[in-house]
Amino acid sequence: MGPRFLLLLSIAAVSLVSFLFTGHPQASWPLGQMDDYLLNILILAGINVILAVSLNIVNGHTGQFSLGHAGFMAVGAYGSATLTQINSKACLASLAFLGNAAPLGLFVLSLLAGGVLAALAGLAVGLPSLRLKGDYLAIVTLGFGEIIRVMIQNTEALGGARGLAGIPSQTSLGWTWGVSLLSIYCVGSLVNSTYGRGFLAVRDDEIAAEAMGVNTTRYKVTAFVVGAFFAGLAGALYAHFIGYITPEGFSFLKSVDVVVMVILGGMGSTAGVTVAAIALTFLNEALREAEQYRMVAFALLLIILMITRPQGLLGGLGRWLPGKGGKS
Amino acid sequence: MSELLRLEKVTVRFGGLVAVSEVDFHVAEGELVGLIGPNGAGKTTLFNLVTGVYTPTTGRICLGGREVDGLNSSEITGMGVARTFQNIRLFNSLSVLDNVIAAFNLHLESGFFGALWRGAAFRAQEAQIQEEAMALLEIFGLREAAHTPCRSLPYGDQRRLEIVRALATRPKLLLLDEPAAGMNPTEKIELMRLIRFTQERFKLAVLLVEHDMKVVMGICERIAVLEYGRKIAEGTPTEIQKDKRVIAAYLGEEVADA
Amino acid sequence: MNEFLQQLINGLSLGAVYALIALGYTMVYGVLRFINFAHGDVFMVGAFSGMYFGRWLKPFAAAWPEWLFASVVLLGSMLFCAVLGIVIERLAYKPLRERPRLTVLITAIGVSLLLEYAGQLVFGAAPRGFPSLITSTSISGLGGLQASNIQLIVLVVTSLLLLGLHLIVMRSRLGLAMRALSLNPTAARLMGVNTNVVISFTFGLGSALAAAGAVFYASLYQAIDPFMGVLPGMKAFVAAVLGGVGSLPGAMVGGLILGVVETLVVGYSKLLGIPPGYRDAVAFVILILILLFKPSGLFGKTQREKV
Ligand SMILES: Nc1ncnc2c1ncn2[C@@H]1O[C@H](COP(=O)(O)OP(=O)(O)OP(=O)(O)O)[C@@H](O)[C@H]1O
Ligand SMILES: [Mg+2]
């Protein structure tokens, strides 16, 4: 139980510190005076870790192939912003009893709301997609992601295609990494149990899994819901970090970004995927000037990787999973 | 003895092909029944029908008096039916032990939230499952290999692991699909002993599909014979060995093979 | 009624484009059992190759009749994409024949991204105007019905292409081999079908049809950009599923239905209470409905996995 205890402890510490720094949401704990640029990248990295780790439970551990993660992120982002931006006055008023902590209280609530809404969306996507496998599932989840985007685009109350600006920037380094540690802990401990062997069994062989009493339907939906919940949290954190969200920002290409992280990290390896998410965030920043070449390079990398090393660059790093996770 | 499994006029069609045709059949508690027949006779298909992988085109299948129509495989497994696969279907990315542990899924007291919270009850359960899995592996001589990837096991061991995995679901009826395939004669004798042993130890009914007549005749109390999806004979091993239609079915095959 | 017929014409010409793309998905799925994610981007390359080829050819073709010029551009673009499709298959998919389907799927996503972003580098990100191959005129029919000549040409030429495809698939040796391969790969191989040749041929044929669709699409809507293949590609996939993946008539019918439904939803958005902005969601809603209620599509056969 050692690593798990440590994780819980660090989450507690991170949350405590975030709480203490309430007054300065962008406070740069724990690295002292850190320049804003690095701070921003670290926050983005944390958000990407949440996205990648949560997609990994669907694509890696359960062996489904979702291409709609950005859709869940959008639900989380817009869902939380509904509380803190669109209806902020009313919400703050009803939290007046918290006194000075009302904005923080609202922020926490909005994070949860984002996560829960996204989880519901995950349920809505997971249920009809159950009969589908592989490429079909990929396209349907992609379709769902696009439907979510089109719906937001056509909803005036959410700012339509123009997007939503003026979201209070409350996401701090502590919050981001607190949630990402939480996601790592949750996915790691879910998978690493007798219960969690069910996810892996579904990935390896659905028919055998059913024959061994594993309810594959339940597992797939659970994976979708858990994945979507954390993607929603990531979206909420992102919205309150960047302050301005548009439907375009949650397009199919964002989903592909996350998929690339999961693939490079090695599907099914939580550690590998975490490292890949951090590394790719930094790489993206470094290559920001060369944006066009970056994507060409990624695409080539993806192709070459699949031909030569389908278990991912970092596959096998994972302690959470016995064996490597390159299987479909 | 009370009845576990009953098939009434079960038929399944794949397009134009009638793979199982009007089969009546039953297995009672604690019995060891053989199911034989030439290649393509419909034996595996019958297993797939019983375990809910396919649904019968017509006819009824009952488990313990309850009709199973429309249930998922996992629900049927929950009613006490476990199986092995002719073309081995282990969980390939998992270790030998984890293959067995995955099959304890039905008997979990603490599921999703237990795994997240990892409290005392959860830990006790994990420890107990681990112990039970190891004990099962021990019976089949796989304890030493518990932590190796199941892919790296020799063929015969993979077949044995399939049986262990099926036993982990704590079945009342165990369906074995050609468990001796690819084994050498010594392994086969050992396997016969193991099947009898587990049958008594866990008070199982066993339905055995096997091409090796020595194995089938050696351990089965009763044998049913399928040919082209139809049940052409049923009886004790001696009766079956004398049955004209069975001899014809098998001779026909040998002639064709020659 | 008139307005309805009008929408129908618009829908059919759009549907013809979807049908042409959908055929590529379906044929490749037939022989390789995988969804070629990059197919929509081959469609995009088809539009750009048509544009460049048309521009380059224009000075030489000054004296040609318009139909000849348009046909040469169409064929050139089809040929280019056929080669592109074959090259993609050889380089990216062939090494993965025996690998898990997921690996191939990810590779296909990689190829798709590569075409899009390499396209952005080469062609620029901004939309470009597609040269007009045929002077657009408006034709009035019965009861004040309006159609552009391009819409009609698209419908006629698509029908010709489909007829050609039908002949190739049903009458030629390669077509026979293709059908054999999609019915039973092992048996086909045993009977001496050269799998590599058939697969290349299938990719070539599918990509050529996508290129034809692209030239039509670009002629109808005039603007092209490196990401133009994403949505039509996905919608054509929906069309293929609607018709039943693996079925050629299914892909045609599915494409036409999708084009018409999409156009009608936009045309009657007020009446239906669906904002026209939902245009791009229509296909996905259809997709989800089919997969829920008739996963094998209109013309597909259900297949059960052997255990
Ligand atoms: N899913 C399916 N779709 C189509 N045909 C099938 C399917 N499953 C089985 N069949 C056919 O049903 C018939 C019976 O097959 P089955 O596997 O049950 O035979 P078997 O008795 O187990 O033979 P063997 O001894 O070779 O294992 C065969 O002709 C087989 O091809
Ligand atoms: Mg069999």
Query: Which residue, among A75, A124, A97, has the nearest Cα to A230 in the 3D structure?
Result: A75
Ligand 1 in contact with B40 (CB < 6 A)?
yes
For residue C36, which amino acid is it? N
Question: Which tokens sit at A228?
Answer: 């979507």
The count of other CB atoms within 10 Å of the CB of residue B141 is: 13
Residue count of chain B, please give it: 258
Interchain CB distance below 8 Å, A302 and C106: yes
Mean pLDDT of chain A, nearest integer: 86
For the stretch A160-170, pLDDT in tens is: 999 999 999 99
Q: Taking 80 as the threshold, does the pLDDT of residue B249 lie above it?
A: yes
User: Which residue in the set C101, C287, C291 is minimally distant from A135, CB to CB?
Assistant: C101
Per-residue pLDDT, averaged over A295-320, amounts to 77
**The predicted structure's pLDDT at residue A319:** 39
Which atom of ligand 1 sits closest to the CA of residue B38? 25
Is B14 a pocket residue for ligand 1 (Cβ < 6 Å)? yes
The minimal CB distance from A306 to the residues C35, C110, C116 is found for C110
Q: Which of A139-143, A195-199, B127-131, C224-228 has the lowest mean pLDDT?
A: A139-143
Residue with the smallest CA separation from ligand 1 atom 28 is B40
Given CB atoms, is A127 within the 8 Å cutoff of chain C?
no
pLDDT in tens, B22-67: 999 999 999 999 999 999 999 999 999 999 999 999 999 999 989 9
Strands B205-209 and B32-36 come out as parallel
Contact yes or no for B78/B203 (Cβ under 8 A): no
Picking from B51, B114, B123, the nearest residue to A211 by CB comes out as: B51
Residue of C nearest to B177 (CA): C307
What's the CA gap between C84 and C76, in Å, rounded? 12
Q: Is B136 left (phi over 0), alpha (psi -120 to 50) or beta?
A: alpha
A140 contacts chain C (CB < 8 A): yes
On whether the CB atoms of residues A130 and C292 are closer than 8 A, the answer is no
SS (H, E, C) chain A: CHHHHHHHHHHHHHHHHHHHCCCCCCCCCCCCCCCHHHHHHHHHHHHHHHHHHHHHHHHHHCCCCCCCHHHHHHHHHHHHHHHHHHCHHHHHHHCHHHHHHHHHHHHHHHHHHHHHHHHHHHHHHHHHHCCCCHHHHHHHHHHHHHHHHHHHHCCHHHCHHHCECCCCCCCCHHHHHHHHHHHHHHHHHHHCCHHHHHHHHHHHCHHHHHHCCCCHHHHHHHHHHHHHHHHHHHHHHHHHHHCCECHHHHCHHHHHHHHHHHHHHCCCCHHHHHHHHHHHHHHHHHCHHHHHHHHHHHHHHHHHHHHHCCCCCCCCCCCCCCCCCCCC
Q: C271 exposed, middle or buried (CB, 10 Å; 0-12, 13-18, 19+)?
A: exposed
Binned at pLDDT 50, 70 and 90, residue A12 comes out as low
Neighbors of chain A by Cβ distance (3+ pairs < 8 Å): B, C
The listed CATH number (3.90.550.10, 3.20.20.10, 3.30.470.10, 3.40.50.300) that belongs to domain B86-170: 3.40.50.300
When pLDDT is averaged across residues A49-58 and rounded to a whole number, the result is 97
Higher local confidence (pLDDT), A222 or A95:
A222
Cβ atoms of A269 and A318 within 8 Å: the answer is yes
Protein residue with least CA distance to atom 7, ligand 1: C306
Q: Is the pLDDT of residue A50 over 90?
A: yes
Taking the mean position of all CA atoms in its chain, how far away is CA A303? 24
- Range with the lowest mean pLDDT among A115-124, C9-18, C95-104, C253-262? C95-104
Q: Is the pLDDT of residue A3 over 70?
A: no
* Cα gap B98→B103, rounded to integer Å: 9
Q: Which of C39, C98, C114 to mutate to test the interface with A (most CBs of A within 10 A)?
A: C114
Q: Is the pLDDT of residue A40 over 60?
A: yes
What is the set of domains in chain A, with CATH numbers? 3-308 (1.10.3470)
Mean pLDDT, rounded, for C123-134? 92
For ligand 1, atom 25, which residue shows the shortest CA distance?
A: B39
Predicted local distance difference test score (pLDDT) of residue C277:
82
The pTM of the full predicted model, rounded to 2 decimals, is 0.90
Q: Cα–Cα distance between A134 and C106 in angstroms, integer?
A: 10
Please check the confidence at residue C87 and state whether its pLDDT lies above 60: yes
**What local confidence, expressed as pLDDT, does residue A22 receive?**
46
> Is the pLDDT confidence value at A25 over 80?
no
Q: What is the DSSP letter of C99?
A: S
Distance, in Å, from the CA atom of A22 to the CA atom of C83, rounded to the nearest integer, reads 61
What are the phi and psi torsion angles at C305 (to 5°)?
A: -70, 130
Q: What is the mean pLDDT of residues C239-263?
A: 93
Interatomic CA distance for residues B234 and B226, integer angstroms: 9
**Which CATH number, 3.10.129.10, 3.40.50.510, 1.10.10.60, 3.40.50.300, labels domain B1-80+172-180+204-258?**
3.40.50.300
Same fold, B1-80+172-180+204-258 and B86-170: yes
Residues 6 or more apart whose Cβ sits within 8 Å of residue B120: none
Nearest CA in chain A to C307: A207
Closest CA to A164 of A75, A77, A68, A69: A77
| Whether the predicted pLDDT of C292 surpasses 60 | yes
| Token pair belonging to B70 | 């429309």
Helix (H, G, I), strand (E, B) or coil at B61: strand
Write out the H or E segment, with its range, that includes residue C198: helix C195-221
pLDDT surpasses 70 at A321? no
In this complex, do B105 and A327 lie within 8 Å of one another by their Cβ atoms? no
Out of A299-308, B100-109, B172-181, pick the least confident. Answer: A299-308
- Average pLDDT score over residue span C46-59: 95
Cβ-based contacts of B53 with chain C (< 8 Å):
307
Pairing assessment for the beta strands B17-28 and B66-67 based on DSSP bridges: unpaired
Q: What are phi and psi of C130, to 5 degrees?
A: -90, 130
| Chain C interface disruption, residue of A252, A296, A313, most C CBs within 10 A | A296
Among A1-5, A283-287, B138-142, C110-114, the minimum mean pLDDT is found in A1-5
Predicted pLDDT of residue B256? 44
Please judge whether C110 and A138 are an interchain contact, meaning their C-beta atoms are less than 8 angstroms apart: no
pLDDT of residue A29: 47
Residue with CA at minimum distance from ligand 1 atom 16: B42
Instruction: Please tell me the number of the ligand nearest to residue B225's CA.
Output: 1
How confident is the model at residue A68, as a pLDDT? 92
Q: Tens digits of per-residue pLDDT, B91-130?
A: 999 999 999 999 999 999 888 999 999 989 999 999 999 9
**Whole-number Å distance between alpha carbons of A171 and A103:** 12
Query: Which tokens sit at B136?
Result: 């099962």
Ligand 1 atom with minimal separation from the B229 CA: 14
Residue whose CA is closest, atom 17 of ligand 1? B44
Q: Which residue from A minimizes the CA distance to B74?
A: A213
Amino acid identity for residue A10 in this structure = S
**Domain extents for chain B?**
1-80+172-180+204-258, 86-170
C190 CA: distance to closest CA in chain B (Å): 20
- Provide the β-strand partners of residue B25: B7
Beta partners for residue B63, in sequence order? B5, B66
What pLDDT band is residue A14 in, cutting at 50, 70 and 90? Answer: low
Residue B193 Cα, ligand 1 centroid: separation in angstroms? 29
Cβ separation of A207 and C109 shorter than 8 Å? no
C-alpha span between A47 and A35 (Å, rounded): 19
**B17 pLDDT above the threshold of 60:** yes
**Residue of higher predicted confidence among C86 and A13:** C86
- Residue B39 Cβ inside 6 Å of ligand 1? The answer reads yes
Which is it for strands C146-148 and C223-224: parallel, antiparallel or unpaired? unpaired
What domains does chain C contain, in order, with CATH numbers? 7-128+143-293 (1.10.3470)
Does ligand 1 have an atom closer than 6 angstroms to the CB of B42? yes
Q: For residue C132, what is the DSSP state?
A: P
Identify which of C213, C159, C224 has the alpha carbon closest to the alpha carbon of residue C14: C213
Q: What is the pLDDT of residue C105?
A: 87
Euclidean distance between CA atoms C20 and A250, whole angstroms = 30
Protein residue with its CA nearest to atom 24 in ligand 1: B39
Evaluate whether C102 touches A65 at the Cβ level (below 8 Å). Answer: yes
Which ranges constitute the DSSP H helices of chain B?
Answer: 43-50, 73-78, 96-102, 112-117, 120-139, 155-168, 185-201, 213-219, 237-242, 244-257
User: Residue C5: CB partners within 8 Å, gap ≥ 6?
Assistant: C145
Q: Residue A326's pLDDT band (boundaries 50, 70, 90)?
A: very low
If we measure between CA atoms, which residue out of B67, B65, B29, B72 comes closest to residue B51? B72
What is the pLDDT averaged over residues B213-233?
94
Is residue B78 within 6 Å of ligand 1 at its C-beta? Answer: no
Interface test with A, best of C93, C94, C105, C120 (most A CBs within 10 A): C105
Predicted local distance difference test score (pLDDT) of residue C278: 86
Stretch C171-197: mean pLDDT, rounded? 90
Q: Does the distance separating the beta carbons of B85 and C304 come in below 8 Å? A: no
CA B17 to chain C, closest CA, distance in angstroms equals: 13
The mean pLDDT of B219-226, rounded to a whole number, is 95
Nearest to B7 by CA among B17, B18, B22, B209: B22
Question: Above 60 in pLDDT, residue A320?
Answer: no
A144: contact with C, CB 8 A cutoff: yes
Contacting C residues, span 15-34, partner chain A, CB-CB under 8 Å: 34
Closest by Cβ to A198, choosing from B53, B83, B105: B105
* Ligand 1 lined by B19 (C-beta under 6 Å): yes
Residues 6+ apart with CB under 8 A from A290: none
Which range scores top for mean pLDDT: A287-291, B134-138, C294-298?
Answer: B134-138
pLDDT in tens, A217-257: 999 999 999 999 999 999 999 999 999 999 999 988 899 89
Q: Tell which residue, C41, C79, C50, C9, has the closest CA to residue C237.
A: C41
Nearest CA to ligand 1 atom 19: B40
The three-state secondary structure class of B225 is strand
